Chain A
Amino acid sequence: MTEHTSTTTQLPELQLDGISKSYGDNLAVRSITASIPAHKVSVIVGPSGCGKSTLLRIISGLDEPTEGTVTFEGNPVHGVPEGLAMVFQDYSRSLYPWLRVDKNVAFPLSKLPAAERDARVAEAIEAVGLKGREKLYPWQMSGGMQQRVAIARALASQPKLLLMDEPYASVDAQTRADLEDLLLKIQRKLGITVLIVTHDIDESVYLADHIIVLSTPPSVVAETIDVDLAHPRDHFSTKTHPRFVEIRGHVTQLLRHTELTGGAA
């Protein structure tokens, strides 16, 4: 296991120390140690069934690790920490069908005074380009639009850490490209820490400042890679850049290698 040192001088927002998770005798992830730098986009990439989602659930506090600790802003995570928001792959089940778009976005803000809540909702809806659709129900919208609502809802809660579990796996390619750019734009603007889980190598390199490559289960960290591609990125020039091609090739090889050897360990 090689581990590149992060070039960033900032403290890690999120620290994983020896995270293991087993279900009965079935070990899903084994001894994952990784640092997620603050104010950057980190991507966990790995083959299907490698425990990426399990890891994300542990990081979010929705699930407890069998061993190891998660530290968020210096505090060990037990239960969902303050300042976290999560975007799920399955937007149609994650959004509440009985609430219109604006109420869905306002869902995490129930404790705020009405005026502040309305302002935040309007801002978040504007940021994802859904102005004028506040009064629709989610199910009256396309999949890409629904995922925008889910992203707006996460943004409205003004998270320090945004977790996304295969957020674009259920939308078409064009929508996916648009949503990837939307995410990068918002992240650059707000400077939030983003951690995305995906099986898509292209997506991981395109979005990431920092990639964590997982092996097949029981998964370990195969390698962490700093992506030094310039911002703003776009789907043509970034993806044809020799450096992009090089990193993508490297990640592909890593994943193929772990699949052939049945895990790095």
Chain B
Amino acid sequence: MNLLREPYSRNRQIMLGVVGVVGSMAVAELLLRTVFTKPGLPVPSKVLLGAVGLFGDPQFWQAVGFTLVEWMLGLALATVAGVLLGGAMGASRIVRIMFELPVEAFRVLPSIALGPILVLLLGAGMLPLSITVALACVWPILLNTMYGVRGADTTAIQTARSFGVSEIGIVWRVTLPAALPFAFTGVRIAASIGLIVAVSAELLIGSGTGIGGYILSNSANAANLDLVYAATLVAGVIGVLVSLAMAALDNGLFGWKKGLAQ
């Protein structure tokens, strides 16, 4: 049995990826044109044409812009709250024990369920949507930050102490840098969740704003279903781009994480 394999070359990987995407689209195209011909199903060629058509639609771009701002605002709120509370929970046993149960209880609640209440409290607009996003995003950031702070190496801390660094200095110069890559992993996970929740929340409480609102208003008209699929596709592509950007940022900022594997 051969367990160790040479990785494929980059070109070969790209080629296989393209074959996978184009192949599955071709299969879907074939099936939807011959076997499952019910109107309203996403025929790839039509969806792609629809997506190309979307590029010329300023209304759609406005919706995309709205969703991205809403998502970033929510992610920012979640990052601030998650890093602060997670950091405090990692650093202090008292804080951790006090908040352990509430965190466990709240993080399994579907944040979207709170959406209607938020609209009632805050009125319609971007803020209740962003808060809904934040409520879903805060947990992975909080938990990862907490484990990052708790995991700061005792030898690293004692080294700083032996050089006469103050306790505040140790938090600033050892615990924080050691925990940052963990916090950022939390942000990466949260970013994808946040985009899903952003579009879902728009469908539910967005009153026609954002990508979700665009999808919702167009799905009322059977003739526009390709647009609906196309918008969904664009939302997916945005998600992939966000994920790639976050991975690149992670690599650039925290490339030293490789040192932890030793």
Contact = CB atoms under 8 A, between A and B. Distances in A.
Interface of A: 60, 62, 80, 82, 84-86, 88, 90, 92-94, 96-98, 107-108, 110, 137-139, 157, 163
Contact of A86 (B159, B177, B260): B159
A139 B256 CA distance: 8
Contact of B161 (A80, A98, A107, A138): A80
Contact of A80 (B164, B178, B256): B164
A97 B259 contact: yes
Contacts of A60: 162
Interface of B: 153, 155-156, 158-165, 169, 173-174, 177-178, 254, 256-260, 262
Contact of B163 (A90, A92, A97, A108): A108
A88 B163 contact: no
Contacts of A107: 160, 163, 173
A82 B162 CA distance: 9
B159 A94 contact: yes
Contacts of B256: 97-98, 137, 139
Given A62-B158, A93-B153, A94-B159, A82 B164 contact: yes
B155 A97 contact: no
Contacts of B178: 98
A94 B156 contact: yes
Contacts of A93: 153, 155-156
Contacts of A80: 161-164
**Majority SS at the chain B contact face:** helix
A60 B162 CA distance: 7
A62 B262 CA distance: 26
Nearest to B160: A107
B160 to A, nearest CB: 8
18 contacts: A62-B158, A62-B162, A80-B161, A86-B159, A92-B262, A93-B153, A96-B177, A97-B256, A98-B178, A98-B254, A98-B256, A98-B259, A107-B173, A108-B163, A137-B259, A138-B259, A139-B258, A163-B162
Contacts of B257: 97
Nearest to B162: A86
Nearest to A156: B163
A-B interface, 8 closest residue pairs, ranked by CB to CB distance from nearest: A97-B259, A139-B259, A93-B155, A108-B163, A86-B162, A98-B256, A94-B159, A93-B153
Given A97-B256, A97-B259, A84 B155 contact: no
A97 B258 CA distance: 9
A90 B157 CA distance: 13
A88 B164 contact: no
B175 to A, nearest CB: 11
B162 A84 contact: yes
Nearest to A60: B162
